[in-house]
Amino acid sequence: MTAILPQAVESLLRVFGKLPGVGRRTAMRYVLHLIREGDACVAELARCLDDVARQVTLCPSCQGLSTDGRECHICLDPQRGPESVCIVAGIADLLAIEATGLYQGRYFVLHRLLSPLKGVGPASLGLGRLFERAQQGSVEELVLATPLTAEGETTATYVSRTVAHLPVRVTRLAAGVPVGGSIEYLDRLTLSRAFEDRKEL
Ligand SMILES: [Zn+2]
């Protein structure tokens, strides 16, 4: 079967197959669908991918997704003050919390969690600028929404210890978050409760 497909199709199958949850069969469905839809559909996909590659950058303030190196919509939103910053492991967690509509502060996206075993140290989290803002007094609360895993806990402990000498309230989402579980997969109600019942560290 492999040999009868054009090289370009094989290459696309390989790329789709790298996406989470997409095996070769699903990748094949996607590729055949695109081919069936025709040039316009393929061109649109190519254009979108090109736009993402060229325009999407990390927000210099929160490391969330932004465009062309500018600050993201959340950081620029005048309704959201800099006093409360919710620290999340990834963009998906940020989106899950946003979907609750409960939180009106800003975020800081780590993209990775502290892990001595994987060689991820504090420097690679990019937290320096957030700690600077806390030092300058513009942050009143840090909400730690890292997952209840060993790495999530290590990261939370590191953050709370680093700001321990500052007048910053540090809270942690706990209630309803399963041990070992990720924030991203919590249903809206559970996440809302975890947020409202956040515990002071
Ligand atoms: Zn931002």
Mean pLDDT of successive 10-residue stretches along the chain, which has 201 residues: 83 94 94 94 95 97 96 96 95 92 94 93 93 94 92 94 95 71 76 80 80
The structure tokens 């996607």 sit at 30
Ligand 1 centroid from CA 96, angstroms: 16
Ligand 1 centroid from CA 133, angstroms: 14
Ligand 1 centroid from CA 106, angstroms: 8
- pLDDT of the residue at 132: 95
Ligand 1 centroid from CA 93, angstroms: 14
Ligand 1 centroid from CA 94, angstroms: 11
Whether residue 94 contacts residue 64, with contact meaning beta carbons closer than 8 Å, is answered with: yes
Ligand 1 centroid from CA 4, angstroms: 47
Ligand 1 centroid from CA 25, angstroms: 37
Ligand 1 centroid from CA 107, angstroms: 7
SS3 106: strand
Ligand 1 centroid from CA 149, angstroms: 25
Ligand 1 centroid from CA 43, angstroms: 31
pTM for the whole structure: 0.84
Cα(134)–Cα(141) distance, integer angstroms: 9
Ligand 1 centroid from CA 120, angstroms: 23
Ligand 1 centroid from CA 74, angstroms: 6
Give first-to-last CA distance, the chain, whole Å. 58
Residues in Cβ contact with 180 at an 8 Å cutoff, skipping those fewer than 6 apart: 147, 148, 149
Cα(6)–Cα(12) distance, integer angstroms: 10
Cα(104)–Cα(143) distance, integer angstroms: 12
Cα(107)–Cα(85) distance, integer angstroms: 5
Ligand 1 centroid from CA 108, angstroms: 8
- C-alpha distance from residue 189 to each of 10, 62, 86 (Å): 43, 26, 18
- pLDDT of the residue at 15: 95
- pLDDT of the residue at 178: 66
Neighbours of 201 (CB within 10 A): 17
Whether residue 156 contacts residue 172, with contact meaning beta carbons closer than 8 Å, is answered with: yes
- Tokens matching residue 159: 């953050």
- pLDDT of the residue at 80: 95
Ligand 1 centroid from CA 58, angstroms: 8
Residues in Cβ contact with 108 at an 8 Å cutoff, skipping those fewer than 6 apart: 62, 63, 85, 86, 87, 88, 127, 130
- pLDDT of the residue at 177: 63
